């Protein structure tokens, strides 16, 4: 089998030659690709001055392409060199005259028992011998396309040569390209214009500022050519883009552009001359803010008052001179410093005490009113630009207390035995310690009047504000009809070094006889009764307008709605006038009560009946009727007039009129009561010794006034 060994040796040599040819051809391809990548990378970066990020992306892409080519044309080919059979087939394809004898000889030689295929060993030997002779006469290397291999290898060598020649010809450019595109450094290409952004403002190309603040970008030209125009190209994180021309200082070779109220991070670069700078970034940081705060106002020592906490939402803090202010708060970020700024000068700062990581506190004693604000500085060096919260501290001198004296339930005329209910309203910066009333009656001769002093109970004082009520008996003052009585309240605070005393405006009443008082009361009662009678007439006229609507219904729903709304407005106006009469009748009956013209229980009973019936008339009867009118106006388009709706409204009007007539009857009783009491008083004054029987008869007459009237009985029966 020596002949077969020679064939296998020639196939092994062919396999080695094929492997070398594949490596040469693949290496040429990779070299050409490397040349293309370097040229493209050089051109892109040289002419467009790519950012580091863009160069990094290209480097990864180019390395990926090279890696793929090396794997496909070198690694994969080295691992896939064909074996004996594929090479034998390739040889027979190149030399068809072998007529499959080469592949057949190789395959028959591998069979250990050819007899199972019907072949004798002699026949196998003859087949191998027939293949040896023609195979020995041919060159297996002719299978390889040598020309193609050498062309590609030469092209690859030429590519490497060009790269080497280019690098040697311009070592500086080659080095810059290598540093920028392989080492990814920010080495700059040679150019005539260089623009440098302030490195202190943008360390490592990034500036960090407070969100919402302004930033002026400053650049300087340091090259041979200084451009007259420099453009800033920017884009924020929201995708908004823009360009602008920077302001130029030709003499200083400086360029400026201001970003105002920056709300989102911004990336920008500058273009001018043949310069395109790298990208710079403006990062935004949230400044520290006051998260919670507490302002405590303390009083001077003499005030003997505990400090109070105020709410800025209710207004700026006010404090008394000599007091103190404590400010406490917390921050949204960890603090390096907290300062209190007083006045307009921000450099006039008082450092606050830091408590823990985010809390601060200060106590101080301002002498004058001033503007105050809190400035925080966090550990990133950022401050709150608005000094928030800011407020105005009002430092006040202790003012004199305010006092007001009011009379209740009494008019301008009183009888000598009356009682005057009064209210004293006081208000002070700190507290009122003492107070009194002074009553001065007009003297009957030329002597100066002597005031009567009525002290205010000290237990009701000792506070900053109060509303004190009392009753002043006129009997002990020994007043005569025709005299005038002036009342005034005095209060004194605890201010230092000298207390303040204040007095109210005077209240003056005239002392009159019972007859004069009765005449005045009766006149006013008759006036209110006449006003009320007019209201009853007005109510009836409004009712009659409703009846007119039943007789002649408006043509449209809008006209009907306007008519009903007009009646509702009239009803509410009548209610307002009833309220006025109610107040006046209450005042009249209170004067009868406090002037003690008759048994006070009887007067209270009469007041409750008359004033209560007026209130019920207004709040219930009239108000329900007004609501009924409003509801009718809302459904004017379907209102049954004439019909059930008209009947309901008319019945409601009748109910209001009946209630008003009942109230009128009670008002007439008040007049009768006043006349009877006046008569009794007159009889008692003229006939001091009038018999008990006469008194009892007059009292029975008064009793009859408090019996329920017929209309009220009817109303109660209807209910």
At residue 414, does pLDDT exceed 60? yes
Q: State the pLDDT confidence band at 24, using cuts at 50, 70 and 90.
A: confident
Q: Which residues contact 121 (CB under 8 A, 6 or more apart)?
A: 114, 115
Q: What is the pLDDT of residue 672?
A: 77
At residue 713, does pLDDT exceed 50? no
User: Do you find a cis peptide bond into 511, omega within 30 degrees of 0?
Assistant: no
Q: Which residues contact 18 (CB under 8 A, 6 or more apart)?
A: 81, 82, 87, 143, 144
**Mean per-residue pLDDT, 282-290:** 89
Residue 474, by phi and psi: left (phi above 0), alpha (psi -120 to 50) or beta?
A: alpha
Q: How far is CA 523 from CA 408, 517, 585, 604, 675, in A?
A: 21, 10, 12, 20, 11
pTM above 0.85, yes or no: no
Do residues 416 and 475 lie in contact, with contact meaning Cβ atoms separated by under 8 Å? Answer: yes
Q: CA 58: distance to chain centroid?
A: 47
**Three-state SS letters, 396-438:** ECCCCCEEEEEECCCCCEECCCCEEEEEEEEEEEEEEEEEEEE
Q: State the pLDDT confidence band at 716, using cuts at 50, 70 and 90.
A: very low
Q: State the pLDDT confidence band at 486, using cuts at 50, 70 and 90.
A: very high
At residue 81, does pLDDT exceed 80? no
pLDDT digits (tens, 9 = 90+) for 644-700: 888 888 899 999 999 999 988 888 888 777 776 666 555 555 444 445 555 565 566
Domains present along the chain, CATH in parentheses: 2-181 (no CATH), 195-285 (2.60.40.10), 290-394 (2.60.40.10), 402-511 (2.60.40.640), 514-718 (no CATH)
Going by C-alpha positions, the residue among 7, 337, 336, 46 that lies closest to residue 172 is 46
The values of phi and psi at residue 678, to 5°, are -60, -40
At residue 33, does pLDDT exceed 60? yes
At residue 363, does pLDDT exceed 90? yes
pLDDT digits (tens, 9 = 90+) for 232-283: 999 999 999 999 999 998 888 999 999 998 989 999 999 998 888 889 999 9
At residue 13, does pLDDT exceed 70? no
More confident residue, 365 or 126: 365
**Mean per-residue pLDDT, 455-467:** 85
At residue 717, does pLDDT exceed 50? no
- CA 543, CA 648: separation in Å to the nearest integer? 12
More confident residue, 212 or 117: 212
- CA 372, CA 394: separation in Å to the nearest integer? 10
- CA 529, CA 659: separation in Å to the nearest integer? 15
Q: CA 501: distance to chain centroid?
A: 47
At residue 441, does pLDDT exceed 90? no
Q: State the pLDDT confidence band at 403, using cuts at 50, 70 and 90.
A: very high
More confident residue, 189 or 565: 565
Q: How far is CA 185 from CA 53, 146, 176, 180, 658, in A?
A: 11, 44, 9, 5, 103
pLDDT digits (tens, 9 = 90+) for 525-561: 899 989 999 999 999 999 898 888 878 888 888 888 8
More confident residue, 140 or 261: 261
Q: Are strands 308-310 and 275-276 parallel, antiparallel or unpaired?
A: unpaired
**Mean per-residue pLDDT, 198-211:** 89
Q: State the pLDDT confidence band at 152, using cuts at 50, 70 and 90.
A: confident
At residue 487, does pLDDT exceed 80? yes
Q: State the pLDDT confidence band at 140, using cuts at 50, 70 and 90.
A: low
pLDDT digits (tens, 9 = 90+) for 301-347: 888 888 999 888 888 899 998 899 999 999 999 999 999 998 876 66
| Mean pLDDT for all residues in the chain | 83
Q: Which long-range contacts (CB under 8 A, 24 or more apart) does 695-703 make?
A: 701/676, 702/598, 702/602, 702/673, 702/676, 702/677
Going by C-alpha positions, the residue among 353, 486, 349 that lies closest to residue 412 is 486
Q: Are strands 484-493 and 501-503 parallel, antiparallel or unpaired?
A: antiparallel
At residue 515, does pLDDT exceed 80? yes
Q: What is the pLDDT of residue 580?
A: 94
Q: Helix and strand tally (H, E) in the chain?
A: 15, 28
Q: Could you tell me what percentage of the chain is helix, strand and coil, using 3-state DSSP and rounding each to the nearest 5?
A: 50, 25, 25
Q: Read off the tokens for 646.
A: 């008209």
């Amino acid at each position: 089998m020596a002949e077969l060994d020679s064939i296998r040796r020639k196939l092994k040599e062919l396999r080695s030659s094929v492997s070398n040819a594949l490596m040469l051809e693949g290496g040429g391809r990779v070299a050409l690709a490397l040349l293309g990548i370097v040229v493209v990378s050089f051109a892109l970066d040289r002419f467009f001055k790519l950012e580091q990020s863009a160069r990094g992306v290209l480097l990864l892409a180019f390395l990926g392409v090279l890696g793929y080519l090396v794997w496909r044309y070198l690694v994969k080919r080295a691992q896939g060199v064909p074996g004996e059979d594929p090479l034998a087939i390739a040889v027979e394809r190149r030399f068809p005259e072998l007529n499959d004898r080469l592949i057949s000889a190789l395959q028959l030689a591998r069979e250990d028992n050819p007899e199972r295929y019907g072949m004798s060993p002699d026949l196998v030997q003859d087949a191998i011998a027939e293949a040896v002779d023609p195979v020995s006469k041919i060159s297996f290397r002719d299978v390889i396309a040598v020309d193609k291999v050498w062309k590609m290898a030469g092209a690859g060598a030429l590519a490497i040569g060009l790269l080497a020649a280019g690098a040697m010809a311009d070592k500086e450019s080659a080095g810059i390209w290598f540093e920028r595109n392989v080492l990814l450094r920010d080495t700059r290409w040679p150019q005539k214009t260089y623009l440098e952004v302030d490195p202190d403002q943008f360390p490592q190309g990034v500036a960090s500022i407070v969100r919402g603040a302004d930033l002026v970008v400053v650049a300087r030209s340091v090259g041979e050519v200084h451009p007259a125009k420099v453009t800033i190209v920017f884009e924020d994180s929201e995708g908004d883009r823009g360009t602008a021309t920077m302001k130029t200082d030709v003499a200083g070779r400086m360029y400026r552009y201001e970003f105002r109220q920056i709300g989102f991070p911004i990336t920008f670069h500058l273009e001018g001359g043949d310069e395109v700078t790298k990208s710079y970034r403006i990062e935004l940081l949230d400044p520290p803010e006051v998260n919670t705060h507490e302002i405590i106002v303390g009083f001077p020592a003499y005030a003997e008052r505990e400090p109070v906490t105020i709410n800025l939402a209710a207004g700026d803090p006010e404090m008394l001179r000599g007091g103190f202010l404590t400010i406490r708060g917390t921050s949204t970020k960890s603090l390096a410093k907290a300062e209190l700024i007083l006045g307009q000068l921000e450099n006039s700062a008082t450092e606050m005490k830091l408590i823990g990581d985010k809390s601060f506190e200060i106590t101080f004693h301002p002498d004058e009113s001033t503007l105050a604000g809190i400035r925080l500085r966090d550990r990133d060096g950022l401050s709150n630009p608005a000094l928030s919260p800011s407020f105005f501290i009002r430092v006040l001198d202790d003012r004199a207390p305010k006092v007001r004296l009011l009379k209740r339930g009494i008019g301008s005329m009183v009888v000598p035995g009356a009682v005057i209910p009064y209210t004293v309203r006081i208000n002070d910066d700190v507290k009122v310690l003492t107070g009194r009333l002074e009553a001065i009656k007009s003297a009957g001769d030329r002597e100066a009047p002597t005031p009567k002093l009525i002290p205010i109970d000290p237990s009701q004082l000792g506070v900053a504000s109060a509303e004190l009520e009392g009753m002043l008996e006129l009997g002990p003052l020994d007043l005569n009809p025709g005299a005038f009585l002036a009342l005034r309240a005095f209060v004194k605070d605890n201010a230092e070094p000298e207390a303040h005393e204040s007095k109210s405006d005077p209240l003056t009443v005239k002392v009159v006889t019972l007859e004069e008082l009765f005449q005045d009361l009766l006149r006013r009662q008759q006036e209110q009764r006449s006003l009320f009678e007019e209201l009853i007439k007005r109510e009836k006229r409004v009712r009659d307008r409703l009846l007119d609507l039943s007789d002649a219904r408006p043509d449209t729903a809008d006209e009907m709605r306007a008519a009903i709304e007009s009646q509702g407005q009239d009803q509410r106006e009548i209610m307002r006038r009833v309220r006025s009469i109610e107040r006046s009748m209450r005042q009249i009956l209170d004067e009868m009560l406090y002037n003690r013209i008759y048994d006070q229980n009887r007067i209270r009973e009469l007041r409750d009946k008359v004033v209560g019936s007026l209130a019920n008339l207004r709040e219930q009867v009239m108000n329900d009727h007004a609501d009924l009118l409003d509801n009718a106006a809302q459904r004017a388009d379907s209102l049954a007039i004439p019909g059930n709706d008209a009947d309901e409204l008319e019945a409601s009007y009748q109910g209001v009129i009946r209630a008003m007539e009942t109230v009128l009857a009670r008002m007439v009783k008040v007049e009768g009561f006043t006349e009877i009491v006046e008569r009794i008083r007159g009889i008692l004054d003229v006939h001091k010794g009038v018999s008990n029987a006469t008194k009892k008869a007059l009292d029975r007459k008064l009793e009859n006034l408090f019996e329920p009237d017929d209309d009220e009985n009817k109303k109660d029966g209807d209910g």
